[in-house]
Amino acid sequence: MRQDHIISAKQLSRADIEEVLDRAADIAADPGAFADRHDDALLGLLFFEPSTRTKMSFTAAMKRLGGDVVDMGTVESSSVKKGESLADTVRVVEGYADALVLRHPSEGSAKMASDYVDVPLINAGDGAGQHPTQTLLDLYTIRENAGFDDLTIGIMGDLKYGRTVHSLAHALTEFDARQHFVSPESLQLPRSVRYDLHEAGADVREHTSLEPVLSELDVLYVTRIQAERFPDESEYREVAGEYQIDAGTLADAKDDLTVMHPLPRVDEIDHEIDATEHAKYFQQAHNGVPVRMAILDMVLEGER
Amino acid sequence: MRQDHIISAKQLSRADIEEVLDRAADIAADPGAFADRHDDALLGLLFFEPSTRTKMSFTAAMKRLGGDVVDMGTVESSSVKKGESLADTVRVVEGYADALVLRHPSEGSAKMASDYVDVPLINAGDGAGQHPTQTLLDLYTIRENAGFDDLTIGIMGDLKYGRTVHSLAHALTEFDARQHFVSPESLQLPRSVRYDLHEAGADVREHTSLEPVLSELDVLYVTRIQAERFPDESEYREVAGEYQIDAGTLADAKDDLTVMHPLPRVDEIDHEIDATEHAKYFQQAHNGVPVRMAILDMVLEGER
Amino acid sequence: MRQDHIISAKQLSRADIEEVLDRAADIAADPGAFADRHDDALLGLLFFEPSTRTKMSFTAAMKRLGGDVVDMGTVESSSVKKGESLADTVRVVEGYADALVLRHPSEGSAKMASDYVDVPLINAGDGAGQHPTQTLLDLYTIRENAGFDDLTIGIMGDLKYGRTVHSLAHALTEFDARQHFVSPESLQLPRSVRYDLHEAGADVREHTSLEPVLSELDVLYVTRIQAERFPDESEYREVAGEYQIDAGTLADAKDDLTVMHPLPRVDEIDHEIDATEHAKYFQQAHNGVPVRMAILDMVLEGER
């Protein structure tokens, strides 16, 4: 893989993805071997939206490689509020760092910003757009737990607004996975995503209930249904309640079903599942470190 | 000392405390010898409340040991505001770091959080609960300046709400100190703390004025009386004024009286005292670095 | 140069300035030679006002020297809001770091703070006062692009409130530059600054339009005219519009005219200029790193 920028999971071929996952596996197996690999490198962090997992795991990843970060801080503490354009901000900050990570609320902002800079830029989420490093850590977690051979995955919850889900579904078409989408009717896949998956030759089915497909699944990927998507609180509660899982729900699942969630969760997965072998969502979050180390290692390597 | 987590000063025996203070003294005497001690270690910072001294000194301590930090940032910039539970947050963040420091507004939160993680967790203040590293740096400062032999200490100000004071008073029972508590009646020690000290065999007396005991003191520990504890501003001013000290107040004190304060101070200690030999409150704040280096060194050592 | 604190550009002689610029040039030519120079040093960051460029470039500079930072964070996340005085805050924080960088909204605050600490303190902007490291990076950029010999500079925009401009103008008197000031009448140089420049023997002229002097300029330094300086929006737009430059404006300029701006810009410089050889404002921002590395290297060297 030789990538100047990491903007979208769609830019990555199956070979690219496997190269990242293989390197991440090497890192996870022997992190000490990578501890001084990018000793003098600085990563610029530009987070225009709140983030815990993504920002902390990029920071940990860079520091586990021996490097360090230079953080813009919150929008409120920066000169962005003085009216500076994103193009100007990234052109300034590229002078302070060897690579940039950008999270921004506007779809397409990462691509636009990447056109202005010479250092590699990694998209850490652009609104309803892409979040490729999340997709890669999701794929890593799937490969680690279920493997890609003959994979059947269920993706449940908010399929309309969840960029994580769109990205993952698209990437899974590279691995010939059978995909079952489970959601309330009002939160089904957008037409454009459905079309896109169809074009990519995906094996996709849509459902309004988990029950009929649960027993076939190797992986169940749960996402949060947000109250603000519904006209009122009571309607939200009624709908959301049907897409929550607990130990009872999983009674009919395969013994080795892997349950994933991009986090934060609220009520979608009952806490009693945390202690079961199914629960891989914390491991999934932790996988952000080796996967982002692999990505940083590759883009910084390209810079040398 | 082999501690998985540092939750409360009460968990520490006299031997534990002295082990920390001895190591802190070793570090203060030759910081260079510890400069690369935890080169590849990361400390996760989870501050759910504002902090200057505690957060900065933990950061400095970790970096003086050669390590680095991964900071959640403010609650506003994190996904906590999306409704994630503390248990979930710490289980995610433990994947990014080798130890955690937690400050949280709810009493008992540190103990609860520690039950969910495998890496060592250090309580940096849990509401009205404990703040053990503050107690250790207070003890270090007392030992350094007055010693523990035949120690007489006065603790003055808000004794009702000050967790710092409760923790310190309890720890001092391990050293057979004579303790004089000086406060307005409305801010006296809570019954539970008084009982607790009594059970521990403490030599404790309570006063509403500093004057009768001042001349006996080796250490005077001053805390801030907060306006919000009083029904109105005028009552606050009247009461608070009686518990402020200036050069005149200290005329009858021992020449080597050590004056301490956990900071920030507002009007409790007049600035004219800053230049006197009595003033040890800035040194006390600075002691946060070697003491926290010692604590981090011990918990990270346990991890290897 | 042996400076305990860097408070004002006015404290720097021509020889001091050239020593900094020479060291910055050495660093820019071979940054690797400085990569481990201050391995065990910590820089305390105290930013009481928002900042992107200054804070990030100090951070990058310190880390490029092998050192690290300890950041107070925003005022909201610190104990400053509990009413602690600046004098107390700096006396606490000096215990956590080997040097301090302070940005504060009150003019004179950096000088005041420096009187309370033993470690070197660098002023990173004190309200309407000084911002000496900005002046040094401006001078570095001028020297790099136009040189100081027989220099003619135009300084345009808000000359009344811009501390950057006052500082730079004063420093340029050390280099016998011809200075043309271009601004609306309501935003001309304050009397005190004009007097000060006169006393320093400056060759200064004032204009309300760029046109008559443009063709003579080697450097054009543009600053932002802020809407809040005007009684109403329409008056602001009318005036500001006359002090914006685009490719057309520069038709009569020298081919090697250097255009600078302290950033952030809003509309003062049209984006079509970004791609021309005139545009040096991003390079100017980037120069913050080697220049601040040079300054930090000097003050930390003094500390050893």
DSSP SS3 for A133 = helix
Indicate the pLDDT class of residue C228, thresholds 50, 70 and 90.
confident
Is A103 annotated as a binding-site member? yes
What residues of C are in contact with residue B64 (Cβ under 8 Å)? 40, 42
What distance in Å separates residue C12's CA from the closest CA in chain A?
26
What is the b/e burial string over B158-176, where b = at least 16 CB atoms within 10 angstroms of the residue's CB? bbbbbbbbbbbbbbbbbbe
Tokens representing C73?
């964070």
What residues of C are in contact with residue B59 (Cβ under 8 Å)? 70-71, 96
Percent of chain C with pLDDT over 70: 97
* pLDDT, average across residues C255-260: 98
DSSP SS3 for C124 = strand
Which of A46-50, C218-222, C274-278 is the least confident region? A46-50
Contact B138, B132 (CB under 8 A): no
Contact C128, C163 (CB under 8 A): yes
What distance in Å separates residue B34's CA from the closest CA in chain C?
11
- What are residue B280's phi and psi, to 5 degrees? -120, 10
- Between chains, do B88 and A288 touch, taking CB under 8 Å as contact? no
Q: For residue C155, what are the β-bridge partners?
A: C181, C221
C141-187 confidence digits (pLDDT tens): 999 999 999 999 999 999 998 888 999 999 999 999 999 999 999 99
User: In terms of Cα–Cα distance, which of A80, A281, A81, A49 is closest to B78?
Assistant: A49
Is A23 annotated as a binding-site member? no
Is pLDDT at C206 greater than 70 in this prediction?
A: yes
What distance in Å separates residue A58's CA from the closest CA in chain B?
9
List CB contacts of A91: < 8 A, sequence separation 6 or more. A116, A117, C282
C11-35 confidence digits (pLDDT tens): 899 999 999 999 999 999 999 999 9
Give the separation between CA A263 and CA A243, rounded to whole angstroms: 15
Tokens representing A243?
């897409």
Q: For residue B123, what are the β-bridge partners?
A: B102
Nearest C-alpha in C relative to B286? C95
Give the separation between CA A141 and CA A223, rounded to whole angstroms: 16
Angle at A195 between CA A191 and CA A201, to 5 degrees: 150
- So what's the pLDDT on residue B152? 98
User: In terms of Cα–Cα distance, which of A286, A262, A302, A282 is closest to A61?
Assistant: A286
- So what's the pLDDT on residue C162? 82
What residues of A are in contact with residue C288 (Cβ under 8 Å)? 95-96
Q: Is C131 a catalytic residue?
A: yes
Nearest C-alpha in B relative to A74? B77
Read out DSSP for chain B?
A: ---S-B--GGG--HHHHHHHHHHHHHHHH-GGGGTTTTTT-EEEEEESS--SHHHHHHHHHHHHTT-EEEE---GGGSGGGGT--HHHHHHHHGGG-SEEEEEESSTTHHHHHHTT-SS-EEEEEETTS--HHHHHHHHHHHHHHT-STT-EEEEES-TTT-HHHHHHHHHHGGGT-EEEEE--GGGPPPHHHHHHHHHTT-EEEEES-STTTGGG-SEEEE-PPPGGGSSSHHHHHHHHHTT-B-TTGGGGS-TTPEEE--S--SSSB-GGGTTSTTB-HHHHHHTHHHHHHHHHHHHHHHH-
> Chains with 3 or more CB pairs closer than 8 angstroms to A?
B, C
Q: Is C38 a catalytic residue?
A: no
Superfamily of domain B133-285: Aspartate/ornithine carbamoyltransferase (3.40.50.1370)
Indicate the pLDDT class of residue B76, thresholds 50, 70 and 90.
confident
Interfacial residues of C (vs A; Cβ cutoff 8 Å): 32, 35, 47, 50-53, 55-57, 59-60, 63-64, 68, 74, 263-266, 271, 282-283, 285-286, 288-289
User: In terms of Cα–Cα distance, which of A205, A221, A223 is closest to A213?
Assistant: A205
What distance in Å separates residue A283's CA from the closest CA in chain C?
30
Nearest C-alpha in B relative to C86? B264
| C9-130+288-303 and C133-285, same CATH topology | yes
* Structure ipTM over 0.85, yes or no: yes
Read out DSSP for A169-229?
A: HHHHGGGT-EEEEE--GGGPPPHHHHHHHHHTT-EEEEES-STTTGGG-SEEEE-PPPGGG
Task: Give the closest of C55, C264, C289 to A88, CB-based.
Answer: C264
For chain C, how big is the Rg over CA atoms in Å? 19
Report domain A9-130+287-303's class: alpha beta
Is pLDDT at B1 greater than 60 in this prediction?
A: no
Q: Is B5 a catalytic residue?
A: no
> What single DSSP character describes residue A250?
G
Active-site option among B5, B23, B38, B54: B54
Is A53 annotated as a binding-site member? yes
Is A179 annotated as a binding-site member? no
Give the separation between CA A23 and CA A34, rounded to whole angstroms: 11
Per DSSP bridges, beta strands C219-222 and C258-260 are parallel
Task: Give the closest of A68, A71, A79 to C53, CB-based.
Answer: A79
- So what's the pLDDT on residue A1? 45
C47-90 confidence digits (pLDDT tens): 999 888 999 999 999 999 999 999 999 887 666 667 889 999 99
Asked if CATH classification 1.10.1840.10 holds for the domain at C9-130+288-303, the reply, yes or no, is no
- Between chains, do C289 and A96 touch, taking CB under 8 Å as contact? yes
- So what's the pLDDT on residue B2? 46
Chain centroid to CA B24: 15
List CB contacts of C115: < 8 A, sequence separation 6 or more. none
- So what's the pLDDT on residue B75? 81
Give the separation between CA C168 and CA C130, rounded to whole angstroms: 10
Q: Name the strands in the sheet holding C99-104, side by side, starting at the edge strand that comes first in the sequence.
A: C68-71, C42-47, C99-104, C121-126
- So what's the pLDDT on residue C79? 63
B109-162 confidence digits (pLDDT tens): 999 999 999 999 999 999 888 899 999 999 999 999 999 999 999 999 999 988
- So what's the pLDDT on residue A79? 63
Read out DSSP for A27-90?
A: HHH-GGGGTTTTTT-EEEEEESS--SHHHHHHHHHHHHTT-EEEE---GGGSGGGGT--HHHHH
CATH-assigned architecture of domain B9-130+286-303 = 3-Layer(aba) Sandwich (3.40)
DSSP SS3 for C180 = strand
The residues spanned by each domain of chain C are 9-130+288-303, 133-285
- So what's the pLDDT on residue C144? 98
Q: For residue B180, what are the β-bridge partners?
A: B154, B205
Is pLDDT at C302 greater than 80 in this prediction?
A: no
- What are residue C67's phi and psi, to 5 degrees? -90, -165
Which of A44-53, A295-304, B204-213, C208-217 is the least confident region? A295-304
Place of tokens 């945390």: A274
Q: Across chain C, what does the average pLDDT equal?
A: 93
Which of A16-20, B77-81, B88-92, C185-189 is the least confident region? B77-81
Give the separation between CA B149 and CA A142, rounded to whole angstroms: 62
What residues of C are in contact with residue B263 (Cβ under 8 Å)? 79, 84, 88, 92
Give the separation between CA A2 and CA B275, rounded to whole angstroms: 62
Per-residue pLDDT of chain A (304 residues; tens, 9 = 90+): 445 899 999 889 999 999 999 999 999 999 999 999 999 999 999 999 988 899 999 999 999 999 999 999 988 766 666 788 999 999 999 999 999 999 999 999 999 999 999 999 999 999 888 899 999 999 999 999 999 999 999 999 999 988 889 999 999 999 999 999 999 999 999 999 999 999 999 999 999 999 999 999 999 999 998 887 788 888 888 888 889 999 999 999 999 999 999 999 988 999 999 999 999 999 999 999 999 999 999 999 876 4
- So what's the pLDDT on residue B81? 64
